[in-house]
Structure formats: structure tokens, C-alpha cells
Amino acid sequence: MSKPTIVVVGNGMVGYKFCEKLIARSSAFQIIVFGEEPRRAYDRVHLSEYFAGKTAEDLSMSPADWYAANNIELYLNDPVQEIDRHNKTIHSLKGVTVKYDYLVLATGSSAFVPDVPGINKDGVFVYRTIEDLDLIKAYAANAKSGAVMGGGLLGLEAAKALIDLGIQETHVIEFAPRLMPRQIDTAGSAMLQAKLEQLGLRIHLNKSTASIDGNHKVESLRFNDDTALPTDMLIISAGIRPRDELARLAGLHVGTRGGILVNDFMQTSDETIFAIGECALHEGMIYGLVAPGYEMADVVVNQLAGGEKSFKGFDMSTKLKLIGVDVASFGDAFISEPACRTIVFEDTHKGIYKRINISIDGKLLLGGILIGDAEAYNMLLQTVNNKLALPPNPEDMILGARGGEQSEGAGVMNLPEDALICSCEAVTKGGICDAVNDGACSLDDVKKCTKAGTGCGGCVPMVKDLIAGTLKANGQYVKNVICEHFNYSRQELYDLIKINNIKNYDLALDHFGRGDGCETCKPLVASIMSSLWNDVIVKQDTIQDSNDRFLANIQKGGTYSVVPRIPGGEITPEKLIIIGQVAQKYGLYTKITGGQRIDLFGAHMNDLPEIWEELINAGFESGHAYGKALRTVKSCVGSTWCRFGLHDSVSFAIEIEERYKGIRAPHKLKGGVSGCIRECAEAQGKDFGIIATEKGWNLYICGNGGSKPQHAQLLAADIDDKTLIKYLDRFLMFYIKTADPLTRTATWLNKMEGGMSYLKNVILNDSLGINAQLEEEMQLLVDSFHCEWKEVVNNPELRKRFQHFVNAPAEKDPNVKFEGMRDQIKAAW
Amino acid sequence: MQVVEAIEWTLACYSDDIPENGGACVKLGDEQIAVFNFNRRGEWYATQNLCPHKQQMVLSRGMIGSSGEACEPKVACPFHKKTFSLLSGECLSGEDYQIKTYPIKVEDGKVYIGIV
């Protein structure tokens, strides 16, 4: 007997989620999906990231082989044209006819385009699909100014997209007297507007567009108040229209203002046809968010696979980051006095607006709005949804407890068991705590067994708190232990190894650990021993991470890249020529790095010692690009050449790099020195940054580029060279001794109790009384520097380790393949 | 009934070619085989050199160690730290990969690998 067939019309986020949920529950159905767009379902919520560098594939909801792997037939670029309810078949544009037992309409919505004269001119776009984005991108290349019609959530996203595309002048035009009229109030809108205008957006409220003027293409907008705005392009974002045309054609009931009518089980007027997502009209509501769409998908899966779930409406609370500004709205955001009491906090200096609405008796939280700082959102939403009792001073919920005792009643552990924590995947507090009680101890574990936090990720901080809270409640001591082999934190093991004078890994394992070690504890112990004794690391090569073991960075295909040290980024023409010659001789790809070095890629392991030998003979040494160590101290050209430079930043950068080179730390370290406040060395994005002032140097610490950029913070101002190096010694050594493994200085500081003021107290005021010791330990490391490449080059035994085949030393890895690109090589894959 | 398969032993390399508590690669015919000297346990292992995750010929350069109460010996790929049992070849990082393992023996400082 063949399986009943379910045809899904529409391959958007909700249509995809339906398939995912159904196959997880039942294999009793044959699923066939028709999508109008040319690609697999993708994450429309994060569409604007397409302009910020993500590819269409990055945004895809599933790997390319997902549908085939799950026996789902997928027709892309082939919209369903007709439903024949009598014969229970559908016909697609390309002529496919399929019989169905159940039909799921997930046709989504389209942009509402108002009937304004001139709307068909070139340069007018909507913002819905990747194809729309490609059109916008192409047109934006020749545009200097752009406007977005609509100041709602999507409109502001579209405005961000225009900024990301480099449009110099971006306008937002809203018909209502405020931005995001569905989510926030007038005062909140004013705060958001001020923030967005600081970021370069120009916002026009109370503007109704009368016509779009221009010769064939849009050149300006004319408004009802007879004003005009010149613009090179226009994006329409004036709302959505449910895609119900197919349902209409099939005679299904639709709402007077659009939308396919559904009951609580998401059934349309034909009980074998369901509608979910933005095309469905439930109790007079179209839900334009993804979480309720997923909930609807779940309801239908329950109908088909057996289950009793129904759709009871959905909380439309939202929290998002718009162009870097937090915006949140939850519960009943708009209820106002006298139906409730409101507490409002407004800080125009920092651009923060918070409003909470509480019941007249002061017992319950009804809803609210947060602009500029939405950290409290999760907890506030839970308080509304679970009708938690308010603390005696409800203002603490948006201001934080100010002095005195921490107010009782807050905290995730006090939530009821059925509190919904992850709304994307419908996971409750009870579900998460049960998973922890059943043995899931980490965020990854919990994600795997409950799926909580795998959607938008907004609940992850709460999930983490719940894990820690549950473990603690079970009497488990929560400590950052290294791994199953060492039941110590990194700092504890550091002290043990130091006090007991341990110099080899096996000894450390015998004394303080158990089992045979692993890829986590081996490099960690190696790093600690290096920070303590500064021995030649390749003497214990098999406990090093691959890069440290071979003193080079492993790259695609198994070849290595080589980075000689170029202190401060200063290099003579003679040395440049040597690098070129070495690269030519060994067939290497060359690239300038972000830290002012030259990286040579594509070196066979067998060639590494010879490459180093040639570099060393020309006066180079290892740049430690492979180690958790000081990478680079980047510098601007400074006062020797620059007409603005106050001091010689290059000389100082070289001095500092020479001092700290080779020193191993919990993670890599980067520094920068700028010769004036223009900050061309981008020193404030480094672990330590030094900027020249009229009177000396300013020292900044704990900055970070990378995936979570963070500005460095000022540690000391207007200090001289000697003082600066003294402070740096203390700072770096304190970090080396106390940070968790693989923790950059920025994260180390963020986790530090007391934060910057505590750290300042340690380094500047010697509050722990350890500074003399820190300086001494650092000096020991500085004095024991050795070039690791040289150790290998001069030692025939160590050189022997650089063979791909130990039984065929002369032979290189035949699997390594290169192909050409712009006159150089790249790894062939 | 016990099935005895005929193992053909091939000399792969000398035991001091392989670093202690680590691995190196040998070439047998056209095959690349990772050989591990798990000195701490007095054991030797051989697996394919190719990491199935991203098809990289690098397993021999990975760190070895043990996992769990039973101290299952394992190797971690240097690329993305996927770990594999040196006994069964099974991926221990919760994914559906499998690597080949080979019988191995050391006699008189010579390392032999068995091809079934």
C-alpha cells in the first residue's frame, strides 16, 4: 500500500519547518513540496545579512541534500497554479500534476504595494526575496540616495540594507506619526528616531506619498503636503498581503481583507486542506512573524501524525536589533492609564527608553516597551506570560537593583515549569531542566536534545542560566574544569604545575589527572608549561596543537602557511626581496595579513625546515602566527614621516613586539601603536592598544576584533614608555595566569567580577600585592626567548619529524593539489 | 564457529619513526595510513590517514588520547577536532563518520600493518 501524500505549496521558512517537524514525528507520509522561488527555503528573518556578506547558501535552512535524504520530492521554480479539489490534484506551472491526500498551503505573503502614480518606474523595489535583493544591489551601485516607504520593522531593515550597500543618503518615510507603529509608542519612537538619525538615517514622519516622479526612473517623491524629496531609488515596505490567490481560485473561504480562513486546527473550509504561516487568517489575525508560523506548522503536524494540539493565538512580543539599536515590545505594550499604571525611564543621553505597564493593584506586569537596552526583555516577557508576582519595587525590573539587597523573586529558576523559554521550538523551562537532570550539562547538549536555542537564539542566555541553576540545585558544583582528564580549572592547574615544578605532560597527568589525556588538555598543559618555563615546545611535540607541533599554520589540503616576524610591520627592501625569492622557489602563494605581515601559503610539510633555514639566514625569525602567543604589534607610520604624528609609533611598536614575542598565553594576543588620535593602527581593537598623546601614551586594554568586536578600554593616560611597559608586563602576566583556556582578553575582562575597575586596581594600585611577582615572571619569559624555527633547523633529529611519509621521506603528499588564480596558486578542492 | 581471516602483514616502518604518544603517516602502495604509538599505554594503532569530515589527509598529525570511563583510545583530527575511536574507527563527536582501522604489530623495532 502506498503512503498517503501530503503536498506542501510553498517552500518558505514555515513550509520548510512543517516538513522538518513532520519527518521528525512520522514516516507514514509521502511529502511533495512546490516552491515558487528558484532556491531552497532560506532564512528570511536575517535577509539583510545578505548585504552584510552572507551568501544565499549561508542563509539556507537546510543542506543541499536534505530533501533527497529525507525522501521529500522538491519542485523549485515551479509554483502551483491550480487546485482541483474534486479530484484532489494540483497542477503546477511547469505542467506537473500530483494527487494529494492532504494539502498544506504555506504560500506566505507578498509586499503590499500601494497604488501611487509612478509606482512602476525604474528604481522602485520591494524587499522580500533574495531576487529582490539582487535587483536592489545592482541598482544601488549607481545610486547616491535612497528612500524606504514604510517605517515599520521591515522598512527599517530595508533601510539598514541600503546603508550596508553604501548609499550615502538614506531616507525613511512613514505615514503614521511614529516609527514601528505596531510595536512601540510615541515616546519610544522619538528615542529610536534620535538613535537612528545619529547613525545617519533621515526620518520623515506623517508623510503620505502622492506620486513618484521622474523620467522613466524614480527621481523624486512628492508628498500630500506638497513637499518633495529627491531620491535615486525607492524601496516599498508598506506592509504585507497574504498570498491567498490560489485558495480563492479553488473556492476556499478567504477574509474580506485577504488571508485564508482557518480554524484552530489550521484547517481551511476544506478539511483536507490546511493553511499555515503568513497566508493564514486565524480569528481575524494575520501573523507576520516566524514563531507563530512554526507553531501553526506544529499544529498541522499534530493533526496528521496524531496529537491534540490546537492553535490558540500567539504572543506577538518581539525583541530585535535594528541597525544596532535594541527594540523590544512585549505583552500589552500600549495599555495606558487609567487602565493600568505605567513606569517610564528615559535617558536621552544614552538613548534608552523603557516603559512597563503594571496592573492597578501593582501585582502583575501587563506589558511594555524597551528601546536602546533590551537586556531585561526575556525576564520581563516571562513575568508577563507566567503572571509572576512583581517585586515590591517594580522599577527594579528595568533599572536593576540599586544598592541594598537584590530583590527576591527575580531569576529564571523561579519561573513555573511550563514557562515557554524557546518560542521558536516551543521548549518550556521544564523541558530544559529535565534534559539537564537527565545528564545534559552543556548548552550544546541541551540544544541537541531539546532544540532550545537553535532558532533565533534569543533565549540562549536564559537557557544557560537554567542549566547552571539546575546543576546548582542538584548540588553539582559548577566549575570550569578543563576536561574529563583534569578536574581543575586552568588557573588551578597552572598553580599546581608551578608549585610542583612539573615540566612534562605525562607527569602532570600522573600527578593531577586521570586517563590518557585528550586534544583539550594536552595543548592546554603545553601552553601552561610554556608560559611558566618557556622551554622549546617541539621537545614535546605530540601534546601541541597541530600548528604548534609543526610551527606553521595548517591550511586546506594539508599544506602549511609560514609567517616570518616583521616587528611593527617595518621591513627593508632587501628582506622583501628575500621573501619574494623564497616564495618563488617553493611555489608559495603570498598575501599581506591584517596584522602587517606577509603570509606564505601552500608549503609542503617536507619543505618547512628548508624554507625556515633560508629565512633565518636572511635575518628573519618565527612570527608565531601558529601559536596562542603574541601575533603582531601593528603600527601606523608615526612621527618620523607623518605630518600629524606626535611620537615615533613604529619604534615603540618594534620595542614592544620584541619584548613579548614568543610568549605563550591562553589565547592569541594582538597589539597596536598609533602615533596620534587618528588611530591609523586601530589599536583600540587589540588586546592592548597604545595611542600617542601630547604628554606621552594612552594605554588601552582588552579590545577585540573578530566575530564579536569590542573596543579596548583606557587603563592609564599620558604615561611614559617605562611606565607603560611596566603596566603591560603586569596586565599580560595576570591574564596569562588567570584566564580560562582559549579566552581572549576581552572575554576574560567581561567575565571578571568587578570588571575594569577591579583590573585597574590590580595593575595600577597593586591591590593584590602581586605586581612585583608579575613583573619578575614576565622578565623571565622575556629573557628566555628563542626562535622555535631555529631550534628545528639546527637539530637534525627535530628536522626528521617534518616528513609526510616516514617510510618515504623524500616523497611529498601526492594528495596536495593546487590550481591557478590571478597568477598565483590556491588549494584545489 | 570462529572465522579466522588471513592477515597479510606488511612492514610499514620502524618503531622509532613514530613519535611517542603521537602519530605519523606511512605509505603502503597507494594508501596513506596513520600509525600511532600510544606509548603511555604500550599500544599501537593504525587507521586511514584521511579525515572523512572534510576529506583531509591529516589524521596522523592529530593528538591522541582517551575518552570516557572505559578509556577508549581516540585521535582528534587537527582540522576541526572530530574525534575517532582508534579501536572501532567510529566517530566519537556524535556524527555519522567511520574510519578504517588496520591490525598492527611491532616486532624487533619493526612496525607491521595487516591488510585483510
DSSP string, chain B: ----PPPEEEEEEEGGGSPBTEEEEEEETTEEEEEEEEGGGTEEEEEESEETTTTEE-GGGSEEEEETTTTEEEEE-TTT--EEETTT-BBSSSSS-B--EE-EEEETTEEEEEE-
Residue from B50, B61, B112 whose CB has the most chain A CBs within 10 Å, to mutate: B61
**Collapsed DSSP state (helix, strand, coil) of residue A137:** helix
In this structure, are A252 and A232 located in the same domain?
no
Sheet holding A209-213, edge to edge: A209-213, A220-223, A228-230
pLDDT at A110: 92
- Which three three-digit cell numbers place residue A179? 516609527
Nearest to B63 among A515, A519, A808 (CB): A519
Q: pLDDT at position A478, please?
A: 61
Q: Do B22 and A541 touch (CB under 8 A)?
A: yes
Is some CB atom of chain A closer than 8 A to the CB atom of B40? yes
Residue A608 and residue A640 share a domain = yes
Cβ-count burial A504-529 (b if 16+ within 10 Å, e if not)? ebbebbeebbebbbbbbbbbbbbbbb
- The C-alpha angle with vertex A750 and arms to A745 and A754, in degrees rounded to 5, equals 115
Q: How far is B5 from chain A (nearest CA, A)?
A: 27
A506 → chain B, closest CA residue = B40
> Is position A827 within any domain?
no
Same domain, A85 and A210: no
**Which CATH number goes with the domain that contains A683?**
3.30.413.10
Among A557, A807, A813, whose Cβ lies nearest the Cβ of B13? A807
Residue A469 lies in a domain: no
Residues of B in contact with A813 (CB under 8 A): 32, 57
Largest CA distance in chain B: 43
What's the helix, strand, coil split of chain A in %, to 5?
35, 20, 45
Is B19–A541 a contact, with Cβ atoms under 8 angstroms apart? yes
Candidates B25, B35, B78; nearest CB to A554: B78
pLDDT score, position B4: 57
Pick among A805, A811, A817 to test the B interface (most B CBs inside 10 A) = A805
Alpha-carbon gap, residue A180 to B34, rounded angstroms = 60
Tell me whether A810 touches chain B (CB under 8 Å). no
CA A700 – CA A695 distance, rounded (Å) = 16
- Asked whether residue A650 falls in the same domain as residue A749, the answer is yes
B76 to A541: CB separation less than 8 angstroms, yes or no: no
**Residue A561 host element (H or E):** strand A560-562
B17 part of a folded domain: yes
The Cα–Cα gap between A515 and A507 comes to 12
Cross-chain Cβ contact B63/A554 below 8 Å: no
A313: phi then psi, degrees, rounded to nearest 5: 80, 175
How distant is the Cα of B106 from the closest Cα of chain A, in angstroms? 15
What is the C-alpha separation between A445 and A466, in angstroms, rounded?
13
Residue B55 domain-assigned (yes or no): yes
Cβ contact B56–A558 (<8 Å)? yes
In chain B, residues with a C-beta closer than 8 Å to the C-beta of A546 are 58, 61-63, 78
Distance CA A24, CA A656 (A): 57
Among B residues 56-85, those touching chain A with beta carbons less than 8 Å apart: 56-58, 61-68, 71, 73-74, 76, 78-79, 81, 83
| CB within 8 Å: B76 and A811 | no
What is the C-alpha to C-alpha distance for residues B65 and A215, in angstroms, rounded to an integer? 72
In whole angstroms, what is the distance from residue A222 CA to residue A797 CA? 80
Say whether B58 and A558 touch across the interface (CB within 8 A): yes
Domain boundary among A305, A332, A352: A305
Distance of alpha carbon A780 from the chain centroid: 39
B11, B53, B63: best mutation site toward chain A, by most A Cβ within 10 Å? B63
CA angle B68, B69, B75 (to 5 degrees): 35
- In this structure, the number of other CB atoms found within 10 A of the CB of residue A300 comes to 26
CA pair distance A796, A234, nearest whole angstrom: 69
* Interface touch B65/A516, C-beta < 8 Å: yes
Q: How far apart are the first and last CA of chain B?
A: 19
Cβ contacts (< 8 Å) between A557 and chain B: which residues?
56
* A726 and A742 together in one domain: yes
Is residue B76 a part of any domain in this protein?
yes
Report how many domains make up chain A. 3
d(CA A200, CA A193) in angstroms, rounded, equals: 11
Chosen domain end from A783, A804, A823: A783
Same domain, A234 and A249: no
C-beta atoms of B76 and A813 within 8 A: no
Calculate ∠ Cα B17-A559-B72, nearest 5°: 55
Does residue B21 sit at the A interface (CB-CB below 8 Å)?
yes
Per-residue pLDDT of chain B (116 residues; tens, 9 = 90+): 455 567 889 999 999 999 999 999 999 988 999 999 999 999 999 999 999 998 999 999 999 999 988 899 999 999 988 999 999 999 988 778 999 999 999 999 999 999 76
Query: For residue A289, what are the contacts with CB-CB under 8 A and spacing of at least 6?
Result: A314, A316, A318
The DSSP bridge pattern shows strands A145-149 and B110-115 to be unpaired
Residue B46: inside a domain, yes or no?
yes
- Residues B16 and A558: their CA atoms lie apart, in Å, by 24
Final residue belonging to a domain, choices A305, A336, A357: A305
CB A685 within 8 A of CB A704: yes
- Contact state of B76 with A518 under an 8 Å Cβ cutoff: yes
Query: Do A13 and A137 have their domain in common?
Result: no
Q: Which residues span the domain enclosing B86? A: 8-108
Q: What is the CA radius of gyration of chain A?
A: 31
Residue B100, domain member (yes or no) = yes
Check whether residue A200 and residue A177 sit in a common domain: yes
Distance CA A690, CA A319 (A): 37
> Nearest-CA neighbor of A550 among B75, B47, B32, B78?
B78
Q: Return the SS3 of A433.
A: helix
Q: Could B26 and A516 be called an inter-chain contact, meaning their C-beta atoms sit closer than 8 Å? A: no
Chain A environment of B65 (Cβ under 8 Å)? 485, 515-519, 521-522
Beta-bridge mates of residue A72: A31
User: Is residue B58 assigned to a domain?
Assistant: yes
- Whether chain A has a CB inside 8 Å of the CB on B15: the answer is no
CA distance B2 to chain A (A): 33
Q: Is residue B115 part of a domain?
A: no
In A, residues 507-526, which contact B (CB 8 Å cutoff)?
515-519, 521-523
Yes or no: say if B42 and B106 are a contact pair by the CB < 8 Å rule. no
Residues A52 and A187 in one domain: no
Task: Specify the number of domains making up chain B.
Answer: 1
Question: Nearest-5° angle of CA B55, CA A546, CA A709?
Answer: 90
Contact A807 B12 (CB under 8 A): yes
CA distance, residue A741 to nearest chain B CA (Å): 16
Residue B116 maps to a domain: no
Contact A209, A222 (CB under 8 A): yes
Q: Which domain holds residue A210?
A: 124-238
Distance CA A639, CA A648 (A): 5
Q: Which residues of chain A have pLDDT under 50?
A: 403-410
**H or E element: which one contains A773?**
helix A771-783
List of chain B residues whose C-beta atoms are within 8 Å of the C-beta of residue A518: 63, 65-67, 74, 76, 83
Q: Would residue A339 count as lying in a domain?
A: no
- Helix (H), strand (E) at residue A18: helix A13-25
Question: What DSSP element (H or E) covers A574?
Answer: helix A573-586
CA distance A803 to chain B (A): 9
Q: Which amino acid is at B54?
A: K
Q: Is A804 on the interface with B (CB under 8 A)?
A: yes
A625: nearest Cα among A581, A661, A577, A651: A661
Nearest to A235 by CA among A406, A47, A63: A47
**Å between B67 CA and nearest CA of chain A:** 8
Alpha helices in A199-307, H assignment, sequence order: 245-249, 290-305
Task: Return the closest-CA partner of residue B35 out of B19, B47, B52.
Answer: B47
For residue A301, give the amino acid letter. V
Provide the CATH number for the domain around residue A247.
Answer: 3.50.50.60
CATH number of the domain bearing residue B99: 2.102.10.10
Same domain for A609 and A563, yes or no, is yes
Whether residues A39 and A132 share a domain: the answer is no
Q: Please tell me whether residues A734 and A749 are part of one structural domain.
A: yes
CA–CA separation, A661 and A630 (whole Å): 6
Peptide bond into A338 cis (omega under 30): yes
Q: Are B17 and B24 in contact (CB under 8 A)?
A: yes
